[in-house]
Structure 1
Amino acid sequence: MKKIARSAIKHADIQAAPEKVFGFLADPMNWPQYAVVNLRSVSPGTDGWFKAVTKFGEGQIRVKGVEEFGILDHTWKDPQATWDAYCRVVPNNDGSTVMFTLFQPPVMNDPQFDQAMKEMEIEMAKLKEILEG
């Protein structure tokens, strides 16, 4: 039996309509605007995948979105690992709350995962700044 992975939930309360937030996040071409620590570029790929370049190298992203439920789950894959991230955009009065649930992949040790989660906080703040601007 596989050991349960460590998890972290990162969120941002954003003064923007859920439709706006969902629309922005549903297009990975927008992600380099807010994922400023890790993501360098995104370009169209094939079969629903987008090519991406991160500070660690090249990989691919695929978004599995269901707007009706605010679901924006996505998969990242590169030669070292495949990593699923679970994202929700939910109404919060006149705004939205965005939540990412992330699991530590086997290729990351605890300090690396801790650092990645600190970097995610920077990116969530940038997402809020963009969507409220």
Structure 2
Amino acid sequence: MKQVQHVSQFIACSPADVYAFASNPANLPQWAAGLARSEVKQDGDTWIVEAPFGRVRIRFADDNAFGVMDHDVALEDGTTFHNPMRVIPNDDGSEVTFTLFRQDDMSDEKFAEDRQAIEEDFRTLKVLLEG
């Protein structure tokens, strides 16, 4: 069993608005520096982007009414990581949640760095959407 941390951020926008922006792969470079450091290019049902850790292919959950933004990230060597992510209502706003799994042989420092990168991305998303 892998160690798990849930990272979340309140955003003072409707879940529909948060989902519409955050689930659009073309918007990733605006808020997800931990994943997308370049323009996102579509290739069939996957998206290709330069991440801080190399070129990756991303496959997102189909559009849905439940706020599910799960996505698989495939590295160049074929290793694939499943990333559960959700937007849920929280009073008049939204809670964005990411489930971070600690990978095998991951140091405490690297696990903390991954969490910090997600937190920074969520803060950027919050600033963009709250204006």
TM-score (norm 1): 0.88
Contact 2:28 2:40 in 1 (8 A): no
Structure 2 regions of 5+ residues with no counterpart?
none
Aligned mate of 1:13, from 10, 13, 19: 10
Structure 1 regions of 5+ residues with no counterpart?
none
Identity %: 32
Residue in 2 that maps onto 1:105: 103
Matches within 5 A, 1:41-52: 41-52=38-49
Residue in 2 that maps onto 1:26: 23
Contact 1:29 1:43 in 2 (8 A): yes
Q: CA deviation at 1:46?
A: 2.2
- Structure 2 counterpart of 1:117, one-letter code: R
More strand by share: 1
Farther off after superposition, 39-48 or 88-97 = 39-48
Equivalenced residues, count: 130
Distance (Å, rounded) in 2 between the aligned partners of 1:122 and 1:21 = 16
TM-score (norm 2): 0.89
Contact 1:42 1:50 in 2 (8 A): no
- Structure 2 counterpart of 1:43, one-letter code: V
